[in-house]
Structure formats: structure tokens, C-alpha cells
């Protein structure tokens, strides 16, 4: 009877080791999925930030608020135009208790302090209903 209980203990230990190994493998696989999905796919992706109209995003301690679509005469996506047009937006930049309103055009970036800010995308194209407006800003420190 003594030999039978030793075999049973060995079986339980092996089942426990297999179960723990499977859990550890599964946990490592899940964690690598999570961390890789949060990483930018390229260096430029880490400089592009999406903000919906009326919303704010804090980037490196500076708050960027997409305040207004001032004008948008860009060609609609389903049209063919000889001139692509231009859109202009206003963003509010705040840091250290003060803020400033900046106008940015789709055709020319702007600089604030040591930061270059340009519009990568402004959707929909053109913005007819400002409630749907979403901008992707490319923000790069120029030092």
C-alpha cells in the first residue's frame, strides 16, 4: 500500500507542474500581447495624437485642446478637385497655469515654444458638422 501512495503523490506533483507551466506560459503570452498592442508601430506613430473637437489630451505635461474648426474648404474625398483646399483649426495649449490659442492650417505647421505642431489628418473631409470633427496632430519637440 505504501508504494501505491508514493505513485499517487508523484502523479499529483506532475499534474501540478504541468498546470503551473501552462498558466505561466498563458500569462506570458497574454502580457506580451498587451504590451505590443500599446507600442507604436513606428517612430512617427509615437508623435501623432488624435483629439476630437472639444476634447483635450495631455502630452508630455502640456494640455492640447481642439477648440474649433475655423474654416474648411478642402475637396471632399469623393470628388476630384484641381485645388486640394485648406482647413484651419484652433487649438488651446496649456501648461504651468497659462494657456494660449493657436491657429493651425492643414497646409502649414506652427511652432509653439520648442514644439512643432502640424495637422496629419482632419476628418471628416471637409468638416461640415463640427460635432464629428477629429484631428490627428503631429507633435514634435524641436529643441
**Of residues 83 and 28, which shows the higher confidence score?**
83
Distance, CA of 83 to chain centre? 30
Element (DSSP H or E) covering residue 92 = strand 87-95
Helix, strand or coil, per DSSP, at residue 37: helix
Q: What b/e string do you get for 23-45 counting C-beta neighbours within 10 Å, with b at 16 or more?
A: eeeeeeeeeeeeeeeeeeeeeee
Confidence of residue 128 (pLDDT cuts 50, 70, 90): confident
pLDDT-above-90 percentage for the chain: 47
For 3-12, 30-39, 45-54, which range has the lowest pLDDT when averaged over its residues? Answer: 30-39
pLDDT at residue 2 in the model: 59
Residue that wins the pLDDT comparison between 16 and 139:
139
pTM reported for the whole predicted model: 0.66
Of 36-40, 66-70, 114-118, which gets the smallest average pLDDT? Answer: 36-40
The rounded distance, in Å, linking the Cα atoms of 139 and 118 is 7
Here the cell at position 34 is 498587451
The arithmetic mean of pLDDT across residues 110-115, rounded, is 90
Dihedral-angle region of residue 60 (phi above 0 means left; psi in -120 to 50 means alpha; beta otherwise): left
Reported confidence tier of residue 133, pLDDT bands at 50, 70, 90: very high
Over residues 1-17, mean pLDDT: 59
pLDDT band at residue 95 under the 50/70/90 scheme: confident
Nearest to 130 by CA among 79, 90, 103, 78: 90
d(CA 26, CA 15): 16
Give per-residue burial for 59-72: e unless 16+ CB within 10 Å, then b: eeebebbbbbbeeb
Give the 3-state secondary structure of residue 77. Answer: coil
Residue 33 — very low, low, confident or very high, per pLDDT cuts 50/70/90? very low
Q: 10 Å Cβ neighbour count for 76? A: 12
Amino acid at each position: 500500500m505504501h508504494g501505491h501512495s508514493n505513485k499517487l503523490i508523484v502523479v499529483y506533483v506532475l499534474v501540478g507542474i504541468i498546470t503551473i507551466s501552462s498558466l505561466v506560459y498563458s500569462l506570458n503570452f497574454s502580457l506580451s500581447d498587451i504590451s505590443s498592442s500599446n507600442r507604436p508601430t513606428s517612430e512617427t506613430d509615437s508623435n501623432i495624437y488624435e483629439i476630437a473637437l472639444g476634447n483635450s489630451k495631455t502630452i508630455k505635461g502640456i494640455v492640447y485642446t481642439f477648440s474649433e474648426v475655423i474654416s474648411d474648404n478642402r475637396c471632399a474625398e469623393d470628388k476630384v478637385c484641381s485645388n486640394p483646399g485648406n482647413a484651419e483649426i484652433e487649438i488651446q495649449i496649456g501648461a504651468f497655469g497659462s494657456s494660449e490659442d493657436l491657429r493651425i492650417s492643414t497646409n502649414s505647421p506652427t511652432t509653439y515654444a520648442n514644439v512643432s505642431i502640424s495637422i496629419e489628418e482632419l476628418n471628416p473631409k471637409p468638416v461640415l458638422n463640427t460635432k464629428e470633427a477629429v484631428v490627428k496632430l503631429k507633435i514634435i519637440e524641436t529643441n
